[in-house]
Structure formats: structure tokens, C-alpha cells
Amino acid sequence: MKTVNNKRLLISGMGFVIACACSGLVQAGQMSADPLTFSQAWQAALAQTPQMLKARARVAEAQGAVKAARGHLLPKLQASYTASGSDNALNVFGMKLSQGKATFNDFGASQFNPFKPQTLYVAPANLNNPGWYRNYESKLQLQIPVFNGGKVWAFYHKAQAYLQAARMGDVAARQQLLLQLLKAYEGVRTAKAFVKVAIKAEAAAKSFVDITNKLYARGVVSRNAQLRAELNFGDARLSLGKARAHLATAYEQLRILTGLPASKLIVVAQSLRVKIPRASLSELERAAQAANPGTQALQMKLAGAQSGVWAARAAYLPHFNIVLSRQWDNTSAGLGGHPSNTVAGVLTWNLFDFGARRGALDEAQAQVLQQSAELRAARNKLRLQVATSWNDVHVAELRVRVRKLSIAQAKEALRLQKLRYEKGVATIAQLLTAQAELNKARSDLVAARYEEVMQRAGLLLALGRLTPQAIQASKLS
């Protein structure tokens, strides 16, 4: 039995060393660091977290798609330069016509003799075998879209819908990030509160050791009670070490989220409280359906899918464009030459394509059904989330009030057990049980306060109202 107790004391001693080391690190950081307000942490998190970088990239991508779709609505001006060479008779004659260089001799006029009718049947060498010829063509072409069945406009509206969805996604990402930051920032404050609880428990355990030693010296308690008090003190030190290690981890989580370098120590300077609207559950559910950015993003995606159906149906209609061009053909490299102009109206109508258009339309309609199903599922999930969060908030508020009462009761119970122990009418087990109840009540109150803050934030997240303005910060005592 003595060996077991010695091992327990050794473990408790190791816990004391861990506690001292963690305490030194945390205390050193608090002495040398500048206070970090929640607003400062929020700005730092916005600037560097991967979630926000991805959200901004999606918005930028959607904005690019809108620009591209808008560009297809406007005329297109193209410039081209072509250098070509050929000894094909038709090509060469066409080049010469474009350059304004065609002559009668290109038709073999030098071989024709009007006084010899048989020369009408002579094959002109210049026309049939013109030799190698070059052409350098500069061209400007303006294409004006007149009617395309609404396909371009459909793609434009689809791009606009996805841009709005991306912006709603950015809002949702901001609110999710704010929830994570609130969890990390309050996590540090809560971890510090747990450290304070552990410090009080250690001090109480030390006082029990002193009392037990005095009682043992007077022969009131046994050696076992003395060892039990020492073991309890070791366990209290170990718990304090664990609490300080948890606090160091909480600081590191906040550091990663805010992107602060390891060389900068952090001091949480504020305690936070989340404001929630006072309304009935039905009112909150309606507000969530109207304002939640996640469901709004899905609604915009549904509108984009419906525009995709519009674009697919446009493939069944004729397309009409006007083309204006001006070109210059020259025998030598360079700009300029013989000018020519062309005006054309181009009407195209795909009459049969072996089901390609039908397949594209079916695919677009299936996407509408898929988006509709996702939106309905998201709305049902949101409704449940609001109801759950609303109930959890009220339970969390009640839990805080009950934990405060339990601390008052545990303090009184401990006071009585301590008096009885000092008089020798209570055992060390009864005293330690009373102290454990007080430690648990204090820890439960810390956890209840943290839970209340997070449940309130969760309700605002479901409502789409979790913004920095909804978080009240006060100086941390």
C-alpha cells in the first residue's frame, strides 16, 4: 500500500512540474504581450483564413463569368493578317482579283488571234498555269449579334445568379468564420477560468494537507488520512497542470485562426456576450428562411439552373448575325493594298442533330430538379436548426442560473464538512467529497457560461445575423 501511495505522490509531483512549466509560459506571454481585442482578432482572421480566401476567389470567378457573358451580348471586332501563296489556277486568279491586279492577259489574250478562229480552242497558259503567286491580306471584321434565341441572355442571367450565390456564400463564410473565432476567443477565456478554478482547488487541497498534518500530530486522524490528503494535493496540482496545458492549446488555436506569428504572445482582453432577438420560434423560423445566406445561395443557384434550361431551349431557334468586313490585299508584305468591303446577314438554324439538343435540355432540367431538392432539404434542415438552437439557448440560460446556485450550496456544504473534520467528527473522504463537489460546481459554471455564448451564436448563425455588431465585448477583469 505504501508503494502505491509513493507512486501516486510521484505522479502528483510530475503534475506539479508540468503545472509550473505551463504557468511560466502563460504568465510570461501575458506580461510581454499586447492585449488582443475581439475586433482586432476579427480583422486579422478576415485577412488570412483559407475559408475567406476561397470565398473571395469564388466571388472573383463569378464576376469573371458575368463579364464574359456580358461580352457575348456586344458586337465583336476582329483583326486578322494572312500571308498565303499558291500555284493553283483558281486561287491565283482570286488573289489577283482581290489585289486589283487581274489583266486580260491572265485569260491568255496574247495567245488569241481573232483572225484565226481555231485559237478559241487553245488552252491559255497564263490562266491554267499561272505559276507561284503570293497574297498578303489585312482584314477587319465586325460581327453584330441580332438574334440567338435568347441563349446569350440566358447565360448572362445564369452568370448573374451564380455571382449572387457566390456573394451569399461569402457572407455565409464570414459568419462561419466569426463563429470559429468566437469559439477560439471565448475558448481562451474559458480555459483561463478553468485555470482559476484549478488554482482554487489546489489551494484548498494544500489547506487540507496542513489541517490533516496538525490533526495527525494530535492523534485525531490516522496516517492513511494524511496520505489521502497528500494524494489529493498531488491530484490538484496535476489538474492545474492539465488546465494550463489546455489554456496553452487554446492560445495556439486562436493564434492559428488570426494568423499571428509565434513570436507574438497573445492576451485576451475582453469577455464576450452575444445579443439575440427576443421573438417567438415561428417568427425566428420565418426570419431564418428569408435571411440565411446558405439557403439564399442555393436559391440563386436554382435560378441559375433555370436560366440553363432557357439557354438549352434556345438551341431549337434560328440564329441571325450581321457581319461587316473590310480587307486589304497586297502583293508584298505589309499593311495596305487594294481595299474591299463585305456586308452579310448570316441566318443559321439547326434543324436536326440526332438528339444532341434534347440531351442538353434534359440535363439542364435535371439540374433544376437537383437544385430544387437541395434547396428544400436545406430549408428543412434550417428549420430544425433554428428550433434546436432556440431551445438550447433557453436551456443554457437556465443552466447558468442553476450552476450559480449549486456553487453557493457546495460552498456551504464544504464549510460544514471542514468544521466537522477539524473537530474529528468527519472523515477525510467526506471532506474531499465536499471539495470535489465545489470544484465540479465551479467548473460546471464555467462550462455553462461558455455554452450559453456558443448557443446564442449558433442561433444567430441559423438566422443569418451573426455579425460583429451582434457581439458585445467588455473588458476582462
Q: Are residues 168 and 267 in the same domain?
A: yes
Neighbours of 329 (CB within 10 A): 23
- The C-alpha cell that represents 247 in the structure block: 489554456
For the chain, what is the domain count?
A: 2
The pLDDT, as a whole number, for residue 10 is 40
* pLDDT for the residue numbered 9: 40
Residue 51 is predicted with a pLDDT of 86
Residue type, 144: I
Give domain status of residue 330, yes or no: yes
Q: Are residues 126 and 169 in the same domain?
A: no
75 within a domain of the structure (yes/no): no
Q: Which three cell numbers stand for residue 378?
A: 436545406
- Read off the pLDDT band of 477 (50, 70, 90): low
Same domain assignment for residues 252 and 394 = yes
Residues 332-336, mean pLDDT to the nearest whole number? 86
Q: Which residues contact 367 (CB under 8 A, 6 or more apart)?
A: 305, 308
The region, left, alpha or beta by phi > 0 then psi within -120 to 50, assigned to residue 147 is beta
279 shares its domain with 362? yes
- Examine residue 276 and state whether it is found in any structural domain, yes or no: yes
Q: Which residues contact 358 (CB under 8 A, 6 or more apart)?
A: none
422 pLDDT more than 90:
no
The CA dihedral of 130, 135, 141, 147, to the nearest 10 degrees, is 30
Residue 286 in any domain: the answer is yes
State whether 461 and 370 are in the same domain.
yes
- What is the distance between the alpha carbons of residues 110 and 123, in angstroms, rounded to a whole number? 12
Asked if 163 and 277 sit in the same domain, the reply is: yes
pTM of the model as a whole: 0.77
- pLDDT at position 17 is 39
Q: Give the three-state DSSP class for 279.
A: coil
With bands split at pLDDT 50, 70 and 90, how would you rate the model's confidence at 312?
A: very high
Q: What is the CATH number of the domain that holds 263?
A: 1.20.1600.10
Residue 42 maps to a domain: yes
Domain span at residue 427 reads 2-70+152-312+356-475
Percentage of residues of the chain with pLDDT beyond 90: 62
Instruction: Based on the fold, state whether residues 249 and 291 are members of the same structural domain.
Output: yes
Instruction: Indicate whether 250 and 173 sit together in one domain.
Output: yes
Predicted pLDDT of residue 16: 40
Question: Who wins on pLDDT, 10 or 279?
Answer: 279
On whether residue 76 sits in a domain, the answer given is: no
> What are the residues whose beta carbons fall under 8 Å from the beta carbon of 366, sequence distance 6 or more?
none
Mean pLDDT of the chain: 87
| Residue owning grid cell 428562411 | 289
Domain boundary among 332, 348, 364: 348
Q: Which residues contact 380 (CB under 8 A, 6 or more apart)?
A: none
Question: Where among 331, 348, 365 does a domain terminate?
Answer: 348
| Tens-digit pLDDT profile for residues 109-150 | 777 777 777 777 788 888 888 889 999 999 999 999 998 888
The pLDDT tens digits of the residues spanning 21-71 come to 444 444 444 444 678 899 999 999 998 888 888 998 999 999 999 999 999
Q: Are residues 306 and 183 in the same domain?
A: yes
Supply 324's cell numbers.
Answer: 461587316
Decide: helix, strand or coil at residue 277: coil
What pLDDT score does 30 carry?
41
- pLDDT above 60 (res 4): no
Say yes or no: 364 and 448 in one domain. yes
pLDDT of 340-387, one tens digit each? 999 999 999 988 888 888 999 999 999 999 999 999 999 999 999 999
- The 3-state DSSP class for residue 377 equals helix
**Mean pLDDT on 77-100:** 92
Q: pLDDT: is 296 or 263 the higher one?
A: 296
Please indicate, yes or no, whether residues 124 and 233 belong to a single structural domain of this protein.
no
Q: Could you tell me if 135 and 161 lie in one domain?
A: no
The yes-or-no verdict on residue 12 having pLDDT over 90 is no
